Amino acid sequence: MSDIFISYARASEAQARQIGAMLRAQGFGVWRDDELPAHRAYAEVIAERLAAAKAVLVLWSAEAVGSEWVQSEADRARNERKLVQLKLDACLLPMPFDRVQCADLAGWNFEAEAPGWRKVLDSLSALTGGPAAAPMAAPITTTTTAAPGKLAICVLPFANMSGDAEQDYFSDGISEDIITDLSKVSALSVVSRNTAFQFKGRHMDLRQLARQLGVSHVLEGSVRRAGQRVRITAQLIEAATDSHLWAERYDRELTDIFTLQDQISQAIVAALRLKLLPAEKSAIERRGTDQPAAYDLYLMARREWLSGNPDERGLKTIVRLCLRATEIDPTYALAWALAAMAQATLHFRHSDTGLDSMALIERALALDPNLAEAYAVKARYLSGQGAIDAADAALERALQLDPRSYEVNLNGGFVRFRQRRLVEAVRFYEAATALVDTAFGAPAMLITCYLALGDRAGVERAARQTLERTEAAVAKDQGNGMALGFGAGALAALGDAQRAREWVARALLVDPDNRSMRYNLACALASSLADAPGATALLTPYLPTATASELDHIEVDPDLDLLREHPEFVAQFEAARARVAAALTDVGR
């Protein structure tokens, strides 16, 4: 095993690669996540490498500060007294890492004799016992293109100028697609969607923003949609001079939306004087559909999916929108996959068998055999069916295809949670939390995992994230039962019992028939408030209609451990198991 584990945000990959090379040149054994083997689950490997390392070198940047992955790795390293820190830009370190020595290497061009770098080497040597081998004879060459802040861009969410807040999904979708397109350009570092969308609707000094994020350029723009016409304005700003490097306004028919997106991405690449490789150009032009109406429906469905944790009504809406999109374009694999995700949840949570989830999955994979999201939902479906080995194989394939996908990490967390492999579930849920800033289901699952693992700092961090996101969701929709359910759990985990019970009462008042919400409320009462009678009362109307998969989930859910010896709950649970077994026997006759 390597002595040094390097933790960093994806936007700093070029710097991490260079730092790793410099350490190896000094004779240190180094590991970072570009060395993940293809045959093993990456969360498992990272946890193993992190545990085995003698030192963990955290490369802090503005994006790293917002990354739950980096914070989680840094927190473990700090607790194990093997944390070494350096800053690549002018970011402010989060608590409690701001209380630990950190080498300031903002603007560093990888000079081997820089005082900050020497300080890092001294700390690493002290923790590891020094390099295991003699330094390499050949010096490490540096290039200006690898320096922090070079060829890095933040795409701010395009403003919705349509005069209708309901059109946000469309402007957000355009912004996300441009981020995705530019991320395919190997010579360009792109700030993640989650980080960029933190600035949505905020008026920012762009120079300050660029310094904060460590980028050289910022793209901003607006979208105005009226009927079948769309106007998009975009401007690329060079942060150092606060000058417009490129600006354009496009007035087009909605049918030209894909050509328009390609033109914007390629114009940015040209303005930055980058060479677009043929494979990158092809990847940018690959949209999944050539039908704007199908694309529009998919964006609506995905907005609902990313809104947090959709209830039964929301899940059915997603299925309807996606299936309508596939009627317009039967080859739209992404729409088939998203329909499968929603339908699988309906199947396991609500006994909705109106559509065959696996048929939707297989349709998506037949159209696109390399679609990570389809493999991710396949893993979840197979896990719910008890096919553990097949689920693991599907999850492994999804990770190979796109380890940074929200859907891959969300479903990966579910699969590992159901296997009670909570350390691995944490890594998946941390990633999902960091990838989508509106989703509250993933951080809520982190509360459960950290409680079971006895990690109080993790519980409090996840609970604060969950509460912030659920409060935002409830502010938009006071009847959002799923947000109220998870918010109650966050309040309970934070020790605010009075407010947690107020949210419980409010949730039951506004959405009493929401089964998933009721289950989450029971978990809050049992896990953090130690209220077995109250939790059992909440589950009393839930258990008589619980599916086999839901009962399996109850058996592994650590939130309900308090109830396992509560006589009333035990009797109700055993009755539910007998009901499901009898139903299966009837089907087999």
Location of each CATH 1.25.40 domain in the chain: 464-589
pLDDT of residue 44: 62
CA-to-CA distance for 93 and 489, rounded, in angstroms?
28
Q: Average pLDDT of the chain?
A: 85
Q: What CATH architecture is 152-287?
A: 3-Layer(aba) Sandwich (3.40)
In which residue ranges of the chain is pLDDT below 70?
1-2, 25, 33-45, 131-150, 276, 283-286, 308-309, 586-589
pLDDT of residue 586: 61
Beta carbons within 8 Å of 490's beta carbon, 6+ residues apart: 444, 447, 462, 463, 464, 466, 467, 470
Q: Which amino acid is at 410?
A: L
Location of each CATH 3.40.50.10610 domain in the chain: 152-287
CA-to-CA distance for 517 and 160, rounded, in angstroms?
32
CA-to-CA distance for 129 and 522, rounded, in angstroms?
50
Question: In the numeric block, which tokens belong to residue 9?
Answer: 């945000």
Closest Cα to residue 423, out of 103, 47, 91, 14?
Answer: 47
Q: What CATH architecture is 464-589?
A: Alpha Horseshoe (1.25)
pLDDT of residue 185: 83
pLDDT of residue 531: 96
Closest Cα to residue 483, out of 466, 494, 470, 472?
Answer: 470
Location of each CATH 3.40.50.10140 domain in the chain: 4-146
The SS3 call for residue 191 is: coil
Question: Is 3.90.1150.10 the CATH number for 4-146?
Answer: no
Q: Which stretch of DSSP H or E encloses residue 4?
A: strand 4-7
Question: In the numeric block, which tokens belong to residue 381?
Answer: 């479906």
Q: Which stretch of DSSP H or E encloses residue 252?
A: strand 243-253
CA-to-CA distance for 62 and 211, rounded, in angstroms?
9
The SS3 call for residue 377 is: helix
